[in-house]
Amino acid sequence: MLVRRSLRMTIDSGWVKILKTSVPDAFTHTLPRPASTVFVDGQIKLMKADYIRTWQQFFENQFVYTVEKAFESGASVVVMGFDDYTYVPVCKNMTQTKRNKSVPNMDFNEHDDLPSTIPENWSGAIRNRTFKIKVIGFVIRNLKMRYKHETRRSVVVDFAGTPEVICGSFVLPALFSVEGTPLRRGECDIKGPVWLDNRGPLLLESTDGDFLPIAMIQLESYMALHNSTAHIFVHRMATRTSTVAKRVSSGNAKRVYEYVDICKLLAFIKTQFPDSASPARAFASLVAVTGCDFCLNLPAMGPTKLWNSRHLFDKSDIAEPMGLMAVLLHAYNTLFHKNIRTLTAEIREVPDMGAACKLYDRLSTSVRHSLTVAQRTRNSVWETRRAVAHICNAVWTVQYWTLLHMYPDPLSGNFGFVLKKNKCVFDGV
């Protein structure tokens, strides 16, 4: 059977629209309260606008401006984070491969120096990992020079290995004082929450959608561990809940940013999954299963349809494979109830994963054979093996978002990833 490979490069924006519609006061144009620490996703800052033509302009506009703005907002610590490619999960290569196919890569190796002028094809150049690492090195060297005399406030570089405090008196979290096996802190996505402490709110600066479910999970864990309240805000590109976008004189949509109060989102999610031991992980499981960096898009099912059927599975442990299989069964059974003989009663009483897989096989087969379902939809619905592998992909993703640098090897256990020709790929595709 042909499986349509559709890989999302971040979470589906439909989830953010659901949150913004449900908790509008969690999304504001101004920061609700000053943050003590600001974590900046430096990977995003590497993507410059076309008008930036010199290295000095690049450094000032993309990095110095960001640090100074954070200080002006009241922060005493700014952490500039970059991906440490040594520890980025091997299953991330599937996303990177798709991204790199769309942009011609630059020919650049480790023995080359950065050119005296910024390359014309910046998008292609910054796709070259060796070039990108050289650029990150340039940024770090210049940050050290720029802030070497700063004593009142701290700038921290979180790149490879132990983060470096380049100015000020900030003391690194205890996590970094433990000797032994290096921490597998690869992506900026999982580096940000580490900087949450009892000094005050943490602000995460990133347009990457993964930061929202990760922040919700980590805030929930932090408050449970410390038995206290805490605050995380995310500064990101504003999500439009309508189809009308403001335009600038060039005719392009105007870029608007907003602050997201993670504490308010978490309070809302708790009302939606009152029986869950971890409402944040339950919500994140739904986010992951519809598609993200590590999961294919769910066929014929987006956030809105899945969210609207949540009352059918809100008592299930959907952070585990059996619970997520129940999600798929309930959601598809509801979606195609006019086209197939439904299995509602049997789904409610399904005893274990084996029985759930048999039910899914019956349901998906009925959909593929239904003449009242569009041909494209029939072709897209997965067979059982791929559905189970997808569920395992989502389970691993939520474990990654939860355990951060302690995440399990995606090729260990049964996480729906396999090694093929020395590359990690999705099982069943």
Alpha helices in 84-239 (DSSP H): 93-101, 122-127, 129-146, 188-191, 211-226
Q: What is the pLDDT of residues 251-308, one digit of tens each?
A: 566 789 999 999 999 999 999 999 899 999 999 999 999 999 999 999 999 999 999 9
Average pLDDT over the chain, rounded to an integer: 91
State the burial class of residue 268 (Cβ atoms within 10 Å of its Cβ: 0-12, 13-18, 19+). middle
pLDDT at 35: 97
Choose among 299, 266, 262: nearest CA to 283.
266
pLDDT score of 122 more than 90: yes
CB 196 within 8 A of CB 222: yes
Query: Which pair of tokens denotes residue 410?
Result: 């995606």
Would you give the DSSP letter of residue 253? B
Q: What is the pLDDT of residues 274-285, one digit of tens each?
A: 989 999 999 999
CB under 8 Å to 197, separation ≥6 — which residues? Answer: 36, 37, 173
pLDDT grade, residue 4 (50/70/90)? very low
Query: Which pair of tokens denotes residue 355?
Result: 């029985």
101 to 104, 125, 152, 308, 382: CA distances (angstroms): 7, 13, 46, 36, 26
Residues 309 and 300: their CA atoms lie apart, in Å, by 14
pLDDT score of 3 more than 60: no
- The whole model's pTM is what? 0.92
Q: What is the pLDDT of residues 309-358, one digit of tens each?
A: 998 887 778 989 999 999 999 999 999 999 999 999 999 888 899 999 99
pLDDT at 247: 57
Q: Which of residues 241 and 217 earns the better pLDDT score?
A: 217
Query: Which pair of tokens denotes residue 335?
Result: 């979606």
Choose among 188, 158, 215: nearest CA to 92.
188
